[in-house]
Structure 1
Amino acid sequence: PCSCSRKFQKKVEASISKMVLNGGIDNRYLVLAVNILQNEEGTHEKHLIITASQSLENKELCILRNDWCSVPVEPGDIIHLEGDCLSDTWIIDEDFGYLILYPDMLISGTSIASSIRCMRRAVLSETFRSSDPATRQMLIGTVLHEVFQKAISNSFAPEKLQEFAFQTVQEIRHLKEMYRLNLNQEEIKQEVEEYLPSFSKWARDFMHKYNSADLPQMQLSLPSDGNNNNSTCNIEVINSLDIEESIWSPRFGLKGKIDVTVGVKIHRGYKTKYKIMPLELKTGKELNSIEHRSQLVLYTLLSQERRADPEAGLLLYLKTGHMYPVPANHLDKRELLRLRNQMAFSLFHRISKSAIEKEKTKLAPLPQIIEDQQTCKYCSQIGNCALYSRAVEQQMDDSSVPIGMLPKIEEETQHLKLTHLEYFSLWCLMLTLESQSKDNKKNHQHIWLMPASELEESGNCIGNLIRTECVKTVCDGQYLHNFRRKNGDMPVTNLMAGDRIILSGEERTLFALSRGYVKDINVTSVRILYACGFSVLLTSYTHSAVDNILLKLVKFKIGFLRLGQAQKVHPDIQKFTEEEICRSKSIKSLPLLEELYNSHRIVATTCMGINHPIFSRKTFDFCIVDEASQISQPVCLGPLFFSRRFVLVGDHQQLPPLVLNREARALGMSESLFKRLERNENAVVQLTVQYRMNSQIMSLSNKLTYEGKLECGSDKVANALDLEFYADYSENPWMIRVFEPNNPVCFLNTDKVPAPEQAEKGGVSNITEAKLIVFLTSVFIKAGCKPSDIGIIAPYRQQLKIINDLLFHSSVRMVEVNTVDKYQGRDKSIILVSFVRSNKDGPLGELLKDWRRLNVAITRAKHKLILLGCVPSLNRYPPLGKLLHHLNSEKLISFFLCHVLGDFQRR
């Protein structure tokens, strides 16, 4: 009891600041205690002491009866309750009410339905999401779904169905899948056409009837019908309201996409009832199976987030045109939500942590392996299942595997050595830890739990918006929306151009998500390999890193194919993307697509782009991974499997893979494959000659990091910056020091100026430094420098936002403003760095303690590097202290005096 109490206390303390507890329809309760008692009838009940109060006061009681007692709820868990609360007591039993465990973990209805036969398979599918292989049946199903969805929004006339089928099999995304599976386009089209008569039959049977008596008779009883024993009815589909309706349901902990949302009339005798129902399409055998029906029952729960309870759904088998009504009664919903809770528990407890601190963290076992060889034979997760069993579970003392399944596990893993199993186990643990840290940091649950007004205070939301114009179509699947604030001024926000957001209705929020890194390599090696007739796969972690290489290849007129969405690619590279080539050449047949893939010996994509169909049939002579020192091992390994030889290019003196979780970092997750393979000295080549920086800028990194080993590649590298109108801005001594073309490095010390940092809701900033940065930028442009040749770096996102806002109001465009991390691998003629921090006694920020981050910042400039900051404050950071000592010895630090402040603010 003592250790359990400590475990609960630690669990609550770790998460109480992020918890959002409240009552009402979207309630969230914290479980304070769990007791199992025996009632007067001799059966067991589970009593939960719960609270919806942030102060943990105002306690309530929740009594779980019957099968609800099996819900694996623990003190410290968050739950959602459906039902009635009388006198601060909830009763959840077989006839009334639901308990949702971890309701902010949204699980798809498809996964829950698949857990009926095997919970382990469902958990593995959620954990290893991209491992389900593509099949011919899946492609046929996807095409048929699209044809039906187009028809229900338009027409089921035979000639229109033929047109929709012809258009759909020509779409590039389907051609790519045909290429992956090595299929014949005409055969796929013919197979799709075999279904079309059934589409027409369904439309004739269920749509646009003038007389309800002409509709097929069906059996459907709805809860709202009361005691009416007559379940015979006629169902008429009036219209489709939505296609692929995506719904998140934080009430029930569910998410999903409904194939078609339809308006229906239920005719029973002389009475007609109108309902909006989910219509689920199935292309396989007409099974009317429990999995298919369960999926629809869960979709009725999803639908309640948007509209009245549909009470039932419709299940349509496209091969025959037969449709089944599926009632959603309390028993089915109860059992499916209990399954959902079991699955949520397994996903939440993927890590096993002992209450005793000394015992190390380890992976938890998955749900038990079922002993059903027929089911396992066709399971898409059999490989992952066997690997996890052998590498993780069989190493545990209490491991239990069904005897009949041991030969299958051995068969699936016999090619693996002990070192392979240990590597998998370690990385599975580290990735799970990191995944949990990322989920905690995102706080996605705040989107639906917190009002927009509170989220605005955190700087992550803009609420109270209304759309001002009609939606404009940018291209297929992309739309432009314009919003304005309904009333009041625009709030201070962290949102920036390029951020990914979530848009939702009233009392929901916009939420920003974005990150990235970049680097370039010497393209000579690529040119040589190309000239020798080799095929080359070019890859890196981010789009900008990949494009940085390609921009240099373009100058040499070397052809390449760029994979990835055109909108994420550099504008000058977009015309080389698969998407743009297919559009411009109007590629609508498989032979033309194959010709495109076969005609390029150089293919470029990000490391995460290796699921592209081209890799299913193509192996490259070489794979070059740029910025490899910054890429985690599993991500870096992916592209290497598609090449015969590989080259990793990087610098482990710069930023390593980003790892949020401290425990994962301690276990070694921040070690890149580049660093790991460095142990093989025969395979390592040290590149000490650089062609970016002039010698004085280079000397900074030589002193800070490289122990004097870096050399300039040529005299041209050391050329001074050419500023045509420099003389017009040389009247002040401090400006001469900054703008003098022959003075490549300058540190402006703001110690004598009131330039304090500000800690705001969006982060740390320094408005004085921001204004000075913008002033210097505008002067450089007026003196003859191109805006695109100037880069601005700051370690904090809030500072970037302020600088961007000031640049915008100064009418300065085309100047790139970014974090140190995003500038890795990039270079500019002029770089200005704002260090932001200015407090001589306050707390130290973590970002400036990283010497690798500092090394990146000072090595981005080709000709001129200007650093801004408060020297006494920055001296408290060891890496910066070392740099400042060197700058001071070289007399490269200038005081920015108080009287100058007014001078530059007036300009």
Structure 2
Amino acid sequence: MRTAPPQLALLFLSWELLGFSDFTWRQFAFSALAMAQLEELELLKKSLGEEAEPPAERFQKKVEGSISKMVLNGGMDNRYLVLAVNIVQNEEGTHEKHLIITASQSLENKELCILRNDWCSVPVEPGDIIHLEGDCLSDTWIIDEDFGYLILYPDILISGTSIASSIRCMRRAVLSETFRSSDPATRQMLIGTVLHEVFQKAISNSFAPEKLQEFAFQTVQEIRHLKEMYRLNLNQEEIKQEVEEYLPSFSKWARDFMHKYNSADLPQMQLSLPSDGNNNNSTCNIEVINSLDIEESIWSPRFGLKGKIDVTVGVKIHRGYKTKYKIMPLELKTGKELNSVEHRSQLVLYTLLSQERRADPEAGLLLYLKTGHMYPVPANHLDKRELLRLRNQMAFSLFHRISKSAIEKEKTKLAPLPQIIEDQQTCKYCSQIGNCALYSRAVEQQMDDSSVPIGMLPKIEEETQHLKLTHLEYFSLWCLMLTLESQSKDNKKNHQHIWLMPASELEESGNCIGNLIRTECVKTVCDGQYLHNFRRKNGDMPVTNLMAGDRIILSGEERTLFALSRGYVKEINVTSVTCLLDRNLSILPESTLFRLDQEEKTCDIDTPLGNLSKLMENTCVSQKLRDLIIDFREPQFTSYLSSVLPYDAKDTVACILKGLNKPQRQAMKKVLLSKDYTLIVGMPGTGKTTTICTLVRILYACGFSVLLTSYTHSAVDNILLKLAKFKIGFLRLGQAQKVHQDIQKFTEEEICRSKSIKSLALLEELYNSHRIVATTCMGINHPIFSRKTFDFCIVDEASQISQPVCLGPLFFSRRFVLVGDHQQLPPLVLNREARALGMSESLFKRLERNENAVVQLTVQYRMNSQIMSLSNKLTYEGKLECGSDKVANAVISLPNFKDVKLDLEIYADYSENPWMIRVFEPNNPVCFLNTDKVPAPEQAEKGGVSNITEAKLIVFLTSVFIKAGCKPSDIGIIAPYRQQLKIINDLLFLSSIRMVEVNTVDKYQGRDKSIILLGELLKDWRRLNVAITRAKHKLILLGCVPSLNRYPPLGKLLHHLNSEKLIMDLPSEEHESLCRVLGDFQRR
């Protein structure tokens, strides 16, 4: 017998390692073709940069350490872990792929899945999660051309539209999932959206001609459609007229197919359902009985699909004397009547989605609204099989966006996309052609084994010839870093926790509320927004992090009801939660149990990737930004202020400048003289928000238009709250629910509602009447930016914003101002590798090398001199200065301190505990309590890291300060870990202490308190700098000096504190005596 090649011996060795010693290679005769297939599989993996190492080792690396976090189960909703993959030749001489799989967390109870025919091409490997459809007999699944399906990476939900588009070009489909914002809005898309809505209103109400006219009139007046008309520079009346041309076809369809309008014979159609068996008669009549749902949203982690079905209808299929009732998807198309494979494929996929909610419809209905013609589309096994195989290929590309190099083991690279097709006609009209060429040149052509069709090289060159090598490298690096960050284990963008974890378990994290029932009637706020009220079926609401304005996903507790609707929390209290949702859920039974999940967007890379793509475009704006940001062209400035300051604004500007200090005045002048950009370094307490507000006032007085942005809504609104006091008009973009209550009246949403704007002319007037527009950096896809360019763009918190996100608003201004301080919080990066590659470098930090563009605000009005000196020593090298003697000498006001001091001397042994008086002395602004002798070890639990002893010390200090007369709201507690925050909050609650804010340093950025208690000192010097500069009058630090001295930034700080005699050693077992003292205090 022929000896097995080494590769195959290794494959079967992996079987033996997994306990499958009864399977041996001797049972199979391996042909040359089998070897070729194996080599092809290995080449595929090498093309992704994977090392060709033994499968057993590869599996061990992939699965080890993560198996406990995997969710595996059998049954209809099975999730299997692939343990081994083997290519074999069966007795008939054909080749199969054998998968050893398990649904057991302990890797026991193994099963065999045999893939035959074209299923062998599924690129599955050890460590992958799969779902299987079919029958399992004797622990063996067989998936072939006639029976069963395999779903690869079922947690990646792909829309039916994307899969249908992949038929013509898989690369385009993957690019559209990656660079979503590059698919531009068009007139045809807008017309299609309006027609969909008119038809959906009609099928739910009436197809009478006068009602259709009414629906069309109402729909083209809706603000969201007016905004798209503005974006595309269209005429509202022309859009209305074009929509009306379709209305007779709507009526014709209703007369032909709808039960209540049909008075004649139903049209004959050809439809064979799989359940019809061998019945050769496909002629039938289809009658639409009713509409069951509109825009039904279905997520299917069973098939790895998601989508919204235009209309879900109940139909009767009449064939001879027999009638069948089915619930089917009805797909609406407004373009040419193609009955194309893409259109039909979309419907076939919707039949799979429908199976999540009800019996298999076996077919769908395709309606072309222009003609009223409808086609039945059967969903047979062959079509489903091929579409699911396309879905698997797409999921594979989306999952394997990153690859490890086989040569440089430590280097990570972007993976190649599906092959470029050579089809000039398809490429000519492709919206992703720019990104396709860019990715090919910047990423794929840098690989040794890159392959581009010769006929496409001129097109790639044409699309990218304006870019330098430095530009391509910038694009490639940021694509890589953003992709790494999106795949971080802490990123929940895919929402798989919704179907993998029960609500009861997620409630512990505070990001979910389950066991909810709907109360009261659903109120329609406006079309597409519905107010729902929920309460717990049993008991009060759990403790939750959810608050008004948070984005949420609403699902049913029942497994088939995922993602029924999206929306916002409107109001939440201990008994109920009110949500504004995008669907009316009153059609569901009153007994339906719901769950709310916070829609966490830890890393939404759609917008930054879109900005990155836009930066590479061949436009004047993008060229200028590439010159400044990538190539570091020095920014230019005008020499004389008189050349930019209008004569009639000089007195106003001079009056405004009088209220500023010298560095602030220098910042104003630098901005006015700039031709490109200015950087304003806002050191702690230097009045950064006031400076920005003043800058906006001056620019407004000079007649300039200003785009005001930041990463967070709160940062934008803090500036607007100050600006509103000066009676300067501005337009606030964004959802009103996310905006500060006092700013909501300035939002586009509220203005449109209060003025009842229903015409494009009025909307244009609104946009044109405001020279100051404010939004977050993520809000730059608003239609206003398609036709408006601002003189200045101001970005607050710029040092905390990643480069591609910060880029967004800069495309819409002639000059920009970045305000921040890179000595404080950097952009949040979860992925270590992305951080190491430089993702935490903000645009502010990158451009700071051009010193002539930088102005520093150094006069601060927050901290007294002793607290300020810490920050000067740690970070600012003595640059910070107090704004006045009053600020420098300010101390905490404790009106009851004398009484508290007396109590402490009574209940604590003062001779042995001198620190207990000193720490509360108002004239001691800075104290460090050394816990070296106190047993205060950190504990790592399920909820995270905590230190109970340190928490008790902090609560003791807080109690005494309150007793001494400090308001609880003037005290802030900062801790680095969520579990520590929870423990401190629990202890405060037990001590009946309310209104004391306990939070992480990230949440305290830009804010301050009279007293700051900082436990578990932060090893990151920038976070430490932020923490200590939150205190105005008193700062108390806790920690173990010997342990903290090992970290250079902390060692530097501790050396300064020691030299100033500000470190106090706590005696051993002091935490126990404090509990006694606190008890005595509370009894008094």
Same fold, TM exceeding 0.5?
A: yes
Give the secondary structure class of the aligned counterpart of 1:723.
Answer: helix
> Equivalents in 1 of 2:96, 2:246: separation in Å?
52
Q: Larger deviation: 427-436 or 268-277?
A: 268-277
State the 1:715 CA deviation: 3.5
Q: Larger deviation: 653-662 or 865-874?
A: 865-874
Question: Is the alpha carbon distance of 1:208 and 1:97 closer, same or farther for their aligned partners in structure 2, counting shifts above 3 Å?
Answer: same
Q: Larger deviation: 756-765 or 275-284?
A: 756-765
Question: Is the alpha carbon distance of 1:737 and 1:233 closer, same or farther for their aligned partners in structure 2, counting shifts above 3 Å?
Answer: farther
Computing the radius of gyration from Cα coordinates, the structure with the larger value is: 2
> Equivalents in 2 of 1:900, 1:259: separation in Å?
68
Question: Is the alpha carbon distance of 1:500 and 1:887 closer, same or farther for their aligned partners in structure 2, counting shifts above 3 Å?
Answer: farther
Question: Is the alpha carbon distance of 1:310 and 1:808 closer, same or farther for their aligned partners in structure 2, counting shifts above 3 Å?
Answer: farther
Question: Is the alpha carbon distance of 1:372 and 1:14 closer, same or farther for their aligned partners in structure 2, counting shifts above 3 Å?
Answer: farther
CA contact under 8 A between 2:413 and 2:480: conserved in structure 1? yes
Question: Is the alpha carbon distance of 1:449 and 1:860 closer, same or farther for their aligned partners in structure 2, counting shifts above 3 Å?
Answer: same
> Equivalents in 1 of 2:904, 2:710: separation in Å?
35
CA contact under 8 A between 1:517 and 1:822: conserved in structure 2? no
Question: After superposition, what is the alpha-carbon deviation per residue over 1:418-471, rounded to whole angstroms, capped at 9, x for unaligned?
Answer: 111111111111111111115766684343234445555677655444445555
Give the secondary structure class of the aligned counterpart of 2:904.
Answer: coil
Question: After superposition, what is the alpha-carbon deviation per residue over 1:645-702, rounded to whole angstroms, capped at 9, x for unaligned?
Answer: 1121111111111112221111111111111112222222233222332323222211
Q: Larger deviation: 408-417 or 203-212?
A: 203-212
Correspondence 1:477 to 2:528: yes
State the 1:516 CA deviation: 19
State the 1:129 CA deviation: 1.1
> Equivalents in 1 of 2:195, 2:228: separation in Å?
14
CA contact under 8 A between 1:728 and 1:783: conserved in structure 2? no
Question: Is the alpha carbon distance of 1:57 and 1:677 closer, same or farther for their aligned partners in structure 2, counting shifts above 3 Å?
Answer: same
Question: Is the alpha carbon distance of 1:544 and 1:147 closer, same or farther for their aligned partners in structure 2, counting shifts above 3 Å?
Answer: same
> Equivalents in 1 of 2:1012, 2:198: separation in Å?
54
> Equivalents in 1 of 2:331, 2:487: separation in Å?
33
State the 1:16 CA deviation: 2.2
Question: Is the alpha carbon distance of 1:214 and 1:679 closer, same or farther for their aligned partners in structure 2, counting shifts above 3 Å?
Answer: same
Question: Is the alpha carbon distance of 1:812 and 1:251 closer, same or farther for their aligned partners in structure 2, counting shifts above 3 Å?
Answer: same
State the 1:122 CA deviation: 0.2
Question: Is the alpha carbon distance of 1:697 and 1:497 closer, same or farther for their aligned partners in structure 2, counting shifts above 3 Å?
Answer: farther
CA contact under 8 A between 2:299 and 2:563: conserved in structure 1? no
CA contact under 8 A between 1:156 and 1:200: conserved in structure 2? yes
CA contact under 8 A between 2:357 and 2:561: conserved in structure 1? no
CA contact under 8 A between 2:553 and 2:565: conserved in structure 1? no
State the 1:369 CA deviation: 0.9
Give the secondary structure class of the aligned counterpart of 1:213.
Answer: coil
Question: Is the alpha carbon distance of 1:869 and 1:578 closer, same or farther for their aligned partners in structure 2, counting shifts above 3 Å?
Answer: farther
State the 1:8 CA deviation: 2.5
Correspondence 1:226 to 2:245: no
> Equivalents in 2 of 1:171, 1:781: separation in Å?
54
Question: Is the alpha carbon distance of 1:678 and 1:514 closer, same or farther for their aligned partners in structure 2, counting shifts above 3 Å?
Answer: farther
Q: Larger deviation: 156-165 or 808-817?
A: 808-817
Question: Is the alpha carbon distance of 1:38 and 1:770 closer, same or farther for their aligned partners in structure 2, counting shifts above 3 Å?
Answer: same
**What TM-score does the superposition give when structure 1 sets the normalisation length?**
0.88
State the 1:559 CA deviation: 2.0
Question: Is the alpha carbon distance of 1:242 and 1:790 closer, same or farther for their aligned partners in structure 2, counting shifts above 3 Å?
Answer: farther
CA contact under 8 A between 2:306 and 2:353: conserved in structure 1? yes
Q: Larger deviation: 705-714 or 520-529?
A: 520-529
State the 1:312 CA deviation: 0.9
CA contact under 8 A between 1:502 and 1:509: conserved in structure 2? no
State the 1:87 CA deviation: 0.9
**What TM-score does the superposition give when structure 2 sets the normalisation length?**
0.75
Question: After superposition, what is the alpha-carbon deviation per residue over 1:250-278, rounded to whole angstroms, capped at 9, x for unaligned?
Answer: 11111111111112222222222221111
CA contact under 8 A between 1:29 and 1:79: conserved in structure 2? yes
Q: Larger deviation: 749-758 or 160-169?
A: 749-758
Q: 1:771 aligned to 947, 952, 968, which one?
A: 952
Give the secondary structure class of the aligned counterpart of 1:262.
Answer: strand
Q: Larger deviation: 197-206 or 458-467?
A: 458-467
2:1051 matched residue in structure 1: 881
CA contact under 8 A between 1:493 and 1:762: conserved in structure 2? no
CA contact under 8 A between 1:316 and 1:322: conserved in structure 2? yes
> Equivalents in 2 of 1:232, 1:510: separation in Å?
35
Question: Is the alpha carbon distance of 1:846 and 1:370 closer, same or farther for their aligned partners in structure 2, counting shifts above 3 Å?
Answer: farther
State the 1:552 CA deviation: 2.0
Within a 5 Å distance, the mapping from 1:41-60 to structure 2 comes to: 41-60=92-111
Q: Larger deviation: 439-448 or 684-693?
A: 439-448
State the 1:382 CA deviation: 0.6
CA contact under 8 A between 2:541 and 2:575: conserved in structure 1? no
> Equivalents in 1 of 2:572, 2:318: separation in Å?
70
Give the secondary structure class of the aligned counterpart of 1:773.
Answer: helix
Question: After superposition, what is the alpha-carbon deviation per residue over 1:266-323, rounded to whole angstroms, capped at 9, x for unaligned?
Answer: 2222222221111111111111110011001001111111111111111111111111
CA contact under 8 A between 1:793 and 1:817: conserved in structure 2? yes
Question: After superposition, what is the alpha-carbon deviation per residue over 1:563-619, rounded to whole angstroms, capped at 9, x for unaligned?
Answer: 111111111211111111111222211121112111211111111111111111111
CA contact under 8 A between 1:158 and 1:200: conserved in structure 2? yes
CA contact under 8 A between 2:954 and 2:1015: conserved in structure 1? no
2:917 matched residue in structure 1: 736
Unpaired runs of 5+ in structure 2?
Answer: 1-55, 577-695, 891-901, 1064-1073
CA contact under 8 A between 2:799 and 2:822: conserved in structure 1? yes
CA contact under 8 A between 2:356 and 2:560: conserved in structure 1? no
> Equivalents in 2 of 1:517, 1:501: separation in Å?
6
Q: 1:849 aligned to 1019, 1038, 1045, which one?
A: 1019
Question: Is the alpha carbon distance of 1:133 and 1:500 closer, same or farther for their aligned partners in structure 2, counting shifts above 3 Å?
Answer: closer
Question: Is the alpha carbon distance of 1:210 and 1:614 closer, same or farther for their aligned partners in structure 2, counting shifts above 3 Å?
Answer: closer
> Equivalents in 1 of 2:389, 2:177: separation in Å?
17
Question: Is the alpha carbon distance of 1:889 and 1:348 closer, same or farther for their aligned partners in structure 2, counting shifts above 3 Å?
Answer: same
Question: After superposition, what is the alpha-carbon deviation per residue over 1:345-370, rounded to whole angstroms, capped at 9, x for unaligned?
Answer: 11111112135563622111111111
Q: Larger deviation: 518-527 or 735-744?
A: 518-527
> Equivalents in 1 of 2:1010, 2:554: separation in Å?
39
State the 1:899 CA deviation: 2.9
Give the secondary structure class of the aligned counterpart of 1:438.
Answer: coil
State the 1:378 CA deviation: 0.7
Question: Is the alpha carbon distance of 1:645 and 1:453 closer, same or farther for their aligned partners in structure 2, counting shifts above 3 Å?
Answer: closer
Question: Is the alpha carbon distance of 1:792 and 1:267 closer, same or farther for their aligned partners in structure 2, counting shifts above 3 Å?
Answer: farther
> Equivalents in 2 of 1:522, 1:37: separation in Å?
61
Give the secondary structure class of the aligned counterpart of 2:979.
Answer: helix
2:970 matched residue in structure 1: 789
Q: Larger deviation: 491-500 or 301-310?
A: 491-500
CA contact under 8 A between 1:688 and 1:711: conserved in structure 2? yes
CA contact under 8 A between 2:541 and 2:574: conserved in structure 1? no
> Equivalents in 1 of 2:489, 2:705: separation in Å?
37
Q: Larger deviation: 707-716 or 643-652?
A: 707-716
State the 1:741 CA deviation: 5.7
Question: Is the alpha carbon distance of 1:489 and 1:583 closer, same or farther for their aligned partners in structure 2, counting shifts above 3 Å?
Answer: closer
Q: Larger deviation: 783-792 or 694-703?
A: 783-792
Give the secondary structure class of the aligned counterpart of 1:9.
Answer: helix
CA contact under 8 A between 1:452 and 1:509: conserved in structure 2? no
State the 1:816 CA deviation: 5.1
CA RMSD of aligned residues (A): 5.4
> Equivalents in 2 of 1:270, 1:372: separation in Å?
50
Question: After superposition, what is the alpha-carbon deviation per residue over 1:485-542, rounded to whole angstroms, capped at 9, x for unaligned?
Answer: 5558977777677654443223569999999999999999922222211111111111
> Equivalents in 2 of 1:535, 1:812: separation in Å?
48
State the 1:781 CA deviation: 7.9
Q: 1:347 aligned to 394, 398, 401, which one?
A: 398
CA contact under 8 A between 2:705 and 2:772: conserved in structure 1? yes
Give the secondary structure class of the aligned counterpart of 2:332.
Answer: strand
Within a 5 Å distance, the mapping from 1:595-606 to structure 2 comes to: 595-606=765-776
> Equivalents in 2 of 1:728, 1:555: separation in Å?
54
State the 1:222 CA deviation: 1.2
Matched pairs, number: 889
Q: Larger deviation: 32-41 or 604-613?
A: 32-41
Give the secondary structure class of the aligned counterpart of 2:856.
Answer: coil
Q: Larger deviation: 272-281 or 717-726?
A: 717-726
State the 1:78 CA deviation: 1.4
Q: Larger deviation: 536-545 or 742-751?
A: 742-751
> Equivalents in 1 of 2:546, 2:563: separation in Å?
6
Give the secondary structure class of the aligned counterpart of 2:251.
Answer: helix
Question: Is the alpha carbon distance of 1:571 and 1:827 closer, same or farther for their aligned partners in structure 2, counting shifts above 3 Å?
Answer: farther
**Structure 1 vs Structure 2: percent identity of aligned residues?**
98
Question: After superposition, what is the alpha-carbon deviation per residue over 1:833-885, rounded to whole angstroms, capped at 9, x for unaligned?
Answer: xxxxxxxxxxx999932121111112123344455667677667654555455
